């Protein structure tokens, strides 16, 4: 987990409880949901055959090695621009569940 993905937690004092400010928590949840959507999209791209070497060029082992990086980057960019809506669905679900817990 990157430093920017971590939620800063404040100590509430003698009660021993901890709480994260809602805005920071929501931002962290949004980033996590987007990262999950990107991972999902990358797997879907791989399953669809993206990144497979073309028969006409045959880039060798280098192409095979770096194709996964290209797919991951493409999936991250796709998710960052709204993706397929999976991140928003996950975010709404998690937020609604967190509102129900005391």
Has residue 1 been placed in a domain?
no
pTM: 0.67
Which tens digits make up the pLDDT trace of 33-47?
Answer: 999 999 999 999 999
Domain membership flag for residue 64? yes
Tell whether 14 is covered by a domain: no
Under 8 Å between Cβ of 87 and 39: no
pLDDT tens digits, one per residue of 52-99: 766 656 667 777 778 889 899 999 999 999 999 999 999 999 989 877
Domain for residue 4, yes or no? no
**How many other CB atoms are there within 10 angstroms of residue 41's CB atom?**
21
> CA-CA distance, 76 to 45, in Å (whole number)?
12
pLDDT attached to residue 90: 93
8 occurs within a structural domain: no
Domain that holds residue 28: 22-48+58-100
Q: How many structural domains comprise the chain? A: 1
Q: Is residue 11 part of a domain?
A: no
């Amino acid at each position: 987990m990157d430093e920017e993905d971590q939620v800063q937690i404040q100590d509430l004092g003698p009660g021993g409880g901890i709480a994260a400010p809602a805005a920071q928590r929501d931002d962290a949840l949004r980033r996590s949901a987007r990262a999950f959507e990107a991972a999902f999209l990358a797997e879907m791209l791989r399953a669809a055959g993206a990144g497979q070497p073309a028969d006409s060029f045959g880039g060798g082992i280098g192409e095979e090695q770096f194709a996964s990086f290209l797919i991951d980057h493409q999936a991250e960019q796709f998710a960052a621009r709204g993706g397929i809506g999976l991140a928003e669905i996950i975010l709404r679900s998690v937020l609604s569940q967190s509102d129900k817990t005391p």
